[in-house]
Amino acid sequence: MPSKRKLREKIENVSTALEKVKAREGVIGYIHMDSTSAAVDLRDPSKTIEYAALSATTRESGEDLSKTFNLGDVNAIVLEGRDTKMLLLIFGDHRLSIFMDKNVDHNMIFDDLNLT
């Protein structure tokens, strides 16, 4: 678990970087949640509930899978659907889900966010 200062820095980096990420070709939008609030910015707002449910279930089941196979703390989950991809990043109690077209390089998005 990162220190409080490191976590604060990550959160600030992410907030700044999300504008750049959103502008990338093929990025559909994001859902950023912590324990008290959520920020949603999606190209198609009618998908908010479906995407939020997918993000929550993926995080929960992802952590179950990690526990089952002793993978330690989950840092990232990449879920590829037939036409859309979700990059789910977990830092502290924050969960950031970025949705993109399938052919987008999610590693570039990860680099943009500078979460390492």
Partner 1 sequence: MNQDAFAAALRNSLDEIRNICPDVRCSFIFTKDSVIVAGDAHADSTAMEKAARSFQSIAEKTDAVGGLDTLLIDGDKGKVYISCLDKMYLALTTSKDADIAYLRSITRVIVPTILKLLESILPTPLKFVPPQHLTVDTLSGFKARFSADTVEIHREILKQWSERFDGKDISQVEIEAFGGKTTQCKVKAINDSNLNRKGLIRIPEKTCQMLEVKTGELVRVKPIAPQVAASLWPSLKEIRI
What residues make contact with partner 1 under the rule CB under 8 A? 47, 50-51, 53-54, 57-58, 60-62, 64-66, 68-86, 99
Q: Tell me if 93 sits within 8 A of 84, measured CB to CB.
A: no
Question: Minimal distance in Å, beta carbon 85 to partner 1?
Answer: 7
DSSP 103: T
**Minimum CB distance to partner 1 smaller for 14 or for 51:** 51
Q: Tell me if 43 sits within 8 A of 25, measured CB to CB.
A: no
Question: Minimal distance in Å, beta carbon 27 to partner 1?
Answer: 14
Q: State the Cα angle at 77 between 110 and 37, rounded to 5°.
A: 80
**Minimum CB distance to partner 1 smaller for 3 or for 36:** 3
Question: Minimal distance in Å, beta carbon 89 to partner 1?
Answer: 10
**Minimum CB distance to partner 1 smaller for 9 or for 64:** 64
Distances (CA, A) of 75 to 42, 83, 112: 23, 24, 16
The backbone torsions φ and ψ at residue 115, rounded to the nearest 5 degrees and listed phi first, read -95, 0
Distance CA 96, CA 17 (A): 12
Question: Minimal distance in Å, beta carbon 28 to partner 1?
Answer: 10
**Minimum CB distance to partner 1 smaller for 16 or for 61:** 61
